[in-house]
Amino acid sequence: MTEGYRASCLCKVDRLANEALRTLMANVVNGDRGASRRLSTQVTPLLSAFYEGQVQAGRVRPEQVEYLVQHAFKTLLENRAHYNPGLPFRAWLLDIARGTLLSHLHANTVVPLLNPPDILWAI
């Protein structure tokens, strides 16, 4: 069942708990640039796993994963002041990832023009 999954998606070794991620995020909110880099290191595998799942579901192409990860982390930084430390960090992160995915899908969806009804042309 796990064939085709990356090891980083399944391995929980060296992953920070929600509390540690929450602390890192608090440091980011307070302007600690080093905390931003450490947070990026910690959330990149989580975001990659989320978007790789979207590749497996056929929603995005593999070459789009890196862009989506970067865009989601940029969105996280832009919304850092809105983070509620009373909520699990991973849930907030996945909400950002989902929003980024939906924006990407919406921006890249081609909607075909409908043919006007024949009656309009008959007038």
> Each residue's pLDDT tens digit in the chain (123 positions)?
445 545 545 455 467 788 889 999 999 988 888 999 999 999 999 999 999 999 999 999 999 999 999 999 999 999 998 989 888 999 999 999 999 999 998 888 766 666 655 555 555
Q: 116 near 83, Cβ under 8 Å? A: no
Nearest-Å Rg of the Cα atoms of the chain is 19
Please report whether residue 1 resides in a domain.
no
Range of the domain at 57: 7-122
Which amino acid, residue 93? Answer: L
Residue 82, domain CATH: 1.10.1740.10
Q: Which helix (H) or strand (E) holds 39?
A: helix 33-56
Please report whether residue 2 resides in a domain.
no
Kindly state the tokens that stand for 21.
């991620």
Please report whether residue 112 resides in a domain.
yes
pTM for the whole thing? Answer: 0.75
